[in-house]
Amino acid sequence: MSAPPRIPERHAGDRQPVTIPSLRDRRLLGEPIVMVTAYDHPSAQVAEAAGVDVVLVGDSAAMTVLGYDSTVPITVDELLMLTAAVRRGLRTPLLVGDLPFGSYEASDEQAIRTAQRFVKEAGCDAVKLEGGGTSVDRARAIARAGIPVMGHVGLTPQTATALGGYRAQGRSTARALEVANDAIALQEAGCFAIVFEAIPAEVADALMEHMEIPVIGIGAGAATDGQVLVFHDLLGIHDGMRPRFAKRYADLRSEMVAAVAEYADDVRARRYPGPEHTYSIAAEELQRFREQLG
Ligand code: KIV
């Protein structure tokens, strides 16, 4: 048994919920937007308490919490369950759900239906999809159906194989132009914001002059309107591949391993549980219990 989960209560003086217009204002005022991923109730509560602006339940959950090798296998149902748990831990940040690979590409109808599930079943404020090309049409269809949609260009992990692996994009004139064209097309299609992932800082900087919506960078330098990091990279929770842009602010995995190892030592040495961890019974009740037990 552990403590029951609690939805953070709102108090007078608390931050106002982050909205799409407020993100636009932040961009105009030049105030950086802070985005982080979260995948469950405790990580959502951490994001809430830390005062971040946008929480993304990324399909990176495939690797960070479900143990898959890439983002490709994660299903809509798996991501919906994680997203609903995050929703229950958030009050203030804008909640964005990632549409998984294979859940939106086939048609506008498929894209709208999946986006609606993220809003209706998991309580998302917005959804995110990856890439340009047909994704531009899907983004337009989702936005027209009344669901705010975030784009994602540069390194798009769902199609990393086609991009030659998990590597920086836009390092040649031709590829930088493709990234730029995708970003502008997604903006024109009605995306309320966009992620630039793993592109040279100079390319992002030049492209910012053409962007009118908030741009959130990850491995795209400092010129974007905000930054996003994967929760497990930021906190050092997993020991998988770490991209060069993933600044580590803690090494929680080492602390977690050390704590569990200390618990194991305590159990084996009979140091745990101690008297302070046990329940008591009145002497006469115990006496009667022993007698009746025979
Ligand atoms: O899935 C994810 O975590 C993402 C971020 C890296 C933007 O898409």
Centroid of ligand 1 to alpha carbon of 204 (angstroms): 17
Centroid of ligand 1 to alpha carbon of 128 (angstroms): 9
Question: In this predicted structure, what is the pLDDT of residue 100?
Answer: 98
Centroid of ligand 1 to alpha carbon of 36 (angstroms): 9
Per-residue pLDDT of 189-246, as tens digits, reads: 999 999 999 999 999 999 999 999 999 999 999 999 999 999 999 999 987 777 889 9
Structure tokens at 22: 């407020």
Per-residue pLDDT of 30-86, as tens digits, reads: 999 999 999 999 999 999 999 999 999 999 999 999 999 999 999 999 999 999 999
Per-residue pLDDT of 238-287, as tens digits, reads: 877 778 899 999 999 999 999 999 999 999 999 999 999 999 999 999 99
Structure tokens at 129: 């999809």
Q: Is 218 in the pocket of ligand 1 (CB under 6 A)?
A: yes
Q: In this model, does residue 290 exceed pLDDT 90?
A: yes
- Greatest CA span in the chain, whole angstroms? 87
Q: Is 35 in the pocket of ligand 1 (CB under 6 A)?
A: no
Question: In this predicted structure, what is the pLDDT of residue 238?
Answer: 84
Question: In this predicted structure, what is the pLDDT of residue 3?
Answer: 57
Q: Is 195 in the pocket of ligand 1 (CB under 6 A)?
A: yes
Dist CA 192 CA 230 (whole Å): 21
Q: Is 154 in the pocket of ligand 1 (CB under 6 A)?
A: no
Residue nearest to atom 6 of ligand 1 (CA): 230
Residue in 55, 101, 152 to alter for ligand 1 test, most ligand atoms within 8 A of Cβ: 152
Burial (CB count within 10 angstroms: exposed 0-12, middle 13-18, buried 19+), residue 88: middle
Dist CA 237 CA 231 (whole Å): 8
Residue spans of beta strands (DSSP E) within 58-110: 94-98
Residue pair 126/150 in contact by the 8 Å Cβ criterion: yes
**Which atom of ligand 1 sits closest to the CA of residue 228?**
7
Helix 108-120 × helix 134-144 angle, to 10°: 50
**pLDDT band at residue 9 under the 50/70/90 scheme:** low
Centroid of ligand 1 to alpha carbon of 97 (angstroms): 10
SS3 label, residue 90: coil
Q: In this model, does residue 95 exceed pLDDT 70?
A: yes
The mean of the pLDDT values for the chain is 95
Residue nearest to atom 5 of ligand 1 (CA): 58
- Is the pLDDT higher at 285 or at 10? 285
Dist CA 118 CA 37 (whole Å): 16
Structure tokens at 286: 């115990």
Per-residue pLDDT of 130-168, as tens digits, reads: 999 999 999 999 999 999 999 999 999 999 888 888 899
Side-chain half-sphere CA neighbours of 89 within 13 A: 24
SS3 label, residue 7: coil
Q: Is 40 in the pocket of ligand 1 (CB under 6 A)?
A: no
Residue pair 117/76 in contact by the 8 Å Cβ criterion: yes
Q: Model pTM?
A: 0.93
Q: Is 255 a catalytic residue?
A: no
Which residue in the list 78, 130, 197, 212 is annotated as catalytic? 197
Centroid of ligand 1 to alpha carbon of 109 (angstroms): 24
Q: Is 230 in the pocket of ligand 1 (CB under 6 A)?
A: yes
Q: Is 213 in the pocket of ligand 1 (CB under 6 A)?
A: no
